[in-house]
Amino acid sequence: MTDLADLIPAGAVRIRAEVADWRSAVVAAGALLEEAGVADSAYTDAMVASVEEHGPYIVIAPGFALPHARPSDSVTRTGMSVLRLAHPVEFGHESNDPVEMVVALAAADSDQHQQALAQLAGVLADAEQRRRLFAARSEQSVRRGLRPRDAGAAPAGPPPATDPPSRGDDEGPTGADRAAGTGTETHLALTVCGNGLGTSLFLKNTLEQVLEDWGWTRYVNAEATDTISAKGRAKEAAFILTSGEIAKTLGDVGVPMEVIGDFTSKQEIDQALRRIYDV
């Protein structure tokens, strides 16, 4: 497993970067990956193209964006860069604009960076750590701000009973009902982004924390995926969590879908689960 600090090469942090708009912010973050030998310019172009195609789904928390693209030959090795903007810029996100911090991810595969993203999600979910990170004035202070603390956030509220989940409606069999089976099988939850390896992993991590708080980890299995795979597997799922932009791309897939604004917010996901399961 790879720690967050291990994926940020020396020099791949830029403080008080001057950028004109979201596109130049993504390009600047990509340039840091290029300078570190993590990826080439084609990967930076792919990150920009992903936002042009799917919208500002990479803005996953207030003031924070995670540009990324699919693994490709443009990526030499898995790595990340950090760009703190001198002046926040608009990405077009309904609730999380303007963006102050950009962390670009280049993944050589779908596995190595998962622990690092989980650590980053924990940092952003911690109000004090987030404040320190956004106020960082040097590469060293950024790296200190990215170190995870042992103490986790408290549950958003008292968890429901730990009985196997079931939908509370009378609309006939749904993906949740089929997944429930006899009450001993596991529901499938899909967290979805454009590429299935960046923002969707962030959302998956936070969902799993809420499920652990509820005592439901044995009942609900979360999987991060992309839009194409999600459309194909939707009928297998009990529910889908995603961003507003990706929800528009998916359309009506026949199972409950909840739009999450802040992918680091346990409270927001807790409330979504309560709506899905009527608890």
**Catalytic-residue membership of 68:** yes
For residue 172, give every residue at least 6 positions away whose Cβ sits within 8 Å of its Cβ, in sequence order, or none: none
Q: Are 96 and 202 in contact (CB under 8 A)?
A: no
Q: Are 67 and 32 in contact (CB under 8 A)?
A: no
53: left (phi > 0), else alpha (psi -120 to 50), else beta? alpha
- From the candidates 54, 68, 113, 187, which is the catalytic residue? 68
The gap between the terminal CA atoms of the chain, to the nearest Å, is 36
Cα-Cα-Cα-Cα dihedral sign, residues 233, 238, 241, 244: positive
Q: Which residues of 226-251 are buried (b: 16+ CB within 10 A; e: fewer)?
A: bbeebeebbeebbbbbbbebbbebbe
Active site residues per annotation: 68
